[in-house]
Every structure is written in C-alpha cells, then in structure tokens.
C-alpha cells in the first residue's frame, strides 16, 4: 500500500481548548469536509417517502400495541418502493422477503405503542446489529413520533426528526426515557440499555 500524505488540521487559536458542539466545530474548522452526522443521513426524498409510509402504520401500531415492519428499496425503474408492512409482536418483527425487482436498502419498523416501563424513543443495539447483519440500513418510528435512521455499516443511529414528526401515541408521556440524544453509536446504545 502506498504511503499517503497525512491530513493535518490546524485549529485557529480561538478554538484550541474551546468546548464546542460537534456541529459548531465542524462549521468552524472543516467547512469543506462533511461532518460524520451529515455523511450518514439518507437523501431528503427517501426520508420524506419513509415518513409518509410510516404515518398510517404508526396508527395501526398504536391500536394493536405491536410492532410493524418491512423494507424500503428501489424498484426496477429506480423509484422508491416498499414491501408490505407486517405485524410483529410487542418486542420485535420479522420483515417480509422483498418482492422480485425490489432492491432493498433499509429495513423499517415501528416501536409499537407507548409503555411507561419500556424505553422505545431510541433504537436498540439489537435494531442496529440486525441491520448490520442484513447488510442494510434502517428506519425506526417511535411512540413519541420520532424518526430514526440507522447506518448499518457505520453502526450509528441518527434522529432525523423529533417528537411529533410522525403520529404520536395519545398515551405518550415525554421524558420517561430520559434525555434523548440526536445520535448514538452501538456502544452508546448498549450503555443506555444497561441504564434503563
């Protein structure tokens, strides 16, 4: 392998030792390089299609108090397409096999109805590991109406939109799952699950 030149970043004196949020640091120091959070976000048209697909499914999920799941991909013409969303159980769901001609790129599932004692406002480490094992990314809808994206290869979960972005369970009570971050690594999810 060839030796490549090292990338050296020089921080302006005002930023050395400063406590900046990652987004602020990115904007201040790396204007020509995408921050990790931005690199892992799906295209806006995919996010909007997934959000629209989840809207009616959220209501079914709340009424049945069960998870629903499926896949999103592209059909033979390159259009965004979905498998049917199947009903799972309270703690999981197995998506249907994709129909011929559909190239899947992400799983989709709801986290069911709100329950005070079951943390559901963030993805689980198992959600992330399952996507990685399948070689896909993932989208998750929560009882509070959050939409999450899992980058299955990078093992990062990113909150695409917050409370009420999707339909919200009428029984939902904000704050029961503690403070919810904008993103989580696999290790952070394992720690978070150990806390709950």
Q: How far apart are CA 192 and CA 55, in angstroms?
A: 27
What pLDDT is recorded for position 119? Answer: 85
Is 156 part of any domain? yes
The CATH number covering residue 186 comes to: 3.40.140
Q: Return d(Cα 35, Cα 168) in angstroms, integer.
A: 30
Structure confidence at residue 6 (pLDDT): 38
Considering the domain boundaries, does residue 23 fall inside one?
A: no
Q: Is residue 182 part of a domain?
A: yes
Is 17 domain-assigned? no
Quick check: is 4 in a domain? no
Q: What is the pLDDT along the chain (196 residues), one digit of tens a residue?
A: 334 333 333 444 444 444 444 444 334 433 323 334 455 789 999 999 999 999 999 999 999 999 999 999 999 999 999 999 999 999 899 998 898 999 999 999 999 999 988 889 999 999 999 999 999 999 999 999 999 999 999 999 999 999 999 999 999 999 888 899 999 999 999 998 875 5
What CA–CA distance (Å, rounded) separates 87 from 98? 16
Q: Is residue 6 part of a domain?
A: no
> So what's the pLDDT on residue 38?
52
CA dihedral 166, 117, 66, 131 (to 10 degrees): 70
The range of the structural domain enclosing residue 119 comes to 41-195
| Number of domains making up the chain | 1
Q: Nearest to residue 121, comparing CAs of 69, 191, 173, 64?
A: 173
pLDDT value of position 178: 86
> What's residue 3's pLDDT?
40
Report the SS3 class of residue 61.
helix
Six-digit token pair at 183?
A: 């993103």
Q: How far apart are CA 111 and CA 104, in angstroms?
A: 21
> Of 145, 170, 139, nearest to 41 (Cα)?
139
Q: Using alpha carbons only, give the angle 74, 47, 166 rounded to the nearest 5 degrees.
A: 125
Q: Is 14 inside a domain boundary?
A: no
CA dist 162 and 182 (Å) reads: 9
Question: Is 125 strand, coil or helix?
Answer: helix
Dihedral, 59, 60, 63, 65 alpha carbons, nearest 10: -110
User: 3-class DSSP state for residue 137?
Assistant: strand
Does residue 28 sit within a domain? Answer: no
């Amino acid at each position: 392998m060839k030796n490549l030149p090292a990338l050296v970043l020089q921080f302006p004196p005002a930023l050395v030792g400063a406590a900046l949020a990652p987004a602020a640091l990115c904007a201040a120091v790396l204007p020509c390089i995408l921050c990790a959070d931005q690199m892992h976000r799906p295209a806006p048209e995919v996010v909007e299609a997934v959000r629209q697909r989840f809207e009616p499914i959220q209501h079914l999920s709340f009424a049945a108090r069960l998870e629903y799941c499926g896949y999103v991909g592209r059909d033979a013409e390159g259009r965004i397409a979905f498998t049917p969303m199947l009903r799972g159980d309270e703690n999981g769901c197995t998506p249907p096999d994709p129909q011929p001609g559909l190239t899947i790129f992400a799983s989709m599932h709801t986290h069911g109805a709100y329950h005070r004692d079951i943390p559901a406002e963030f993805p689980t480490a198992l959600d992330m590991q399952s996507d990685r094992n399948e070689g896909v990314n993932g989208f998750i809808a929560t009882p509070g109406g959050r939409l999450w994206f899992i980058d299955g290869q990078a093992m990062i979960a990113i909150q695409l939109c917050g409370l009420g972005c999707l339909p919200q369970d009428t029984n939902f009570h904000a704050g029961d799952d503690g403070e919810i971050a904008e993103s989580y690594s696999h290790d952070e999810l394992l720690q978070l699950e150990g806390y709950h």
